[in-house]
Amino acid sequence: NAGVMQNPRHLVRRRGQEARLRCSPMKGHSHVYWYRQLPEEGLKFMVYLQKENIIDESGMPKERFSAEFPKEGPSILRIQQVVRGDSAAYFCASSPESRVYEQYFGPGTRLTVT
């Protein structure tokens, strides 16, 4: 049973470019969560999605960031016009239904903005 998959594992973008991070949840999981982790800091919640629905986006920056979880395919976190401060590890987690206490994390995507 494959775990949560994220790709790419490493992504380098120049300032002003777009970054697209993908997350495939565990089989049977319909809820996806995105987090950002800066060096030596904990995970910061960004957004919580169900298929075709954003449940909680209270942690998402108001500009340049968006997320979706379509009916078919992976969840995507999109960062437009990246800046150096966006450099971080981005983790995706999934859970069965709405069991926010049972999240299983992927290996993360490390974004570097040059």
Rounded distance, CA 74 to CA 44, Å? 21
Q: For the CB of residue 52, give the shortest distance to other proteins in the complex, in Å.
A: 20
Q: For the CB of residue 107, give the shortest distance to other proteins in the complex, in Å.
A: 5
| Closer by beta carbon to other proteins, 17 or else 87 | 87
- Can you name the residues that pair with 10 across neighbouring β-strands? 110
| Closer by beta carbon to other proteins, 64 or else 104 | 104
Which alpha helices (H) appear in the chain, and where do they start and end?
none
Amino acid (1-letter code) at residue 25: P
The two tokens of residue 38 are 């800066």
By the criterion CB under 8 A, which residues form the site for other proteins? Answer: 4, 33, 35, 40-45, 48, 56, 59, 91, 93, 100-108
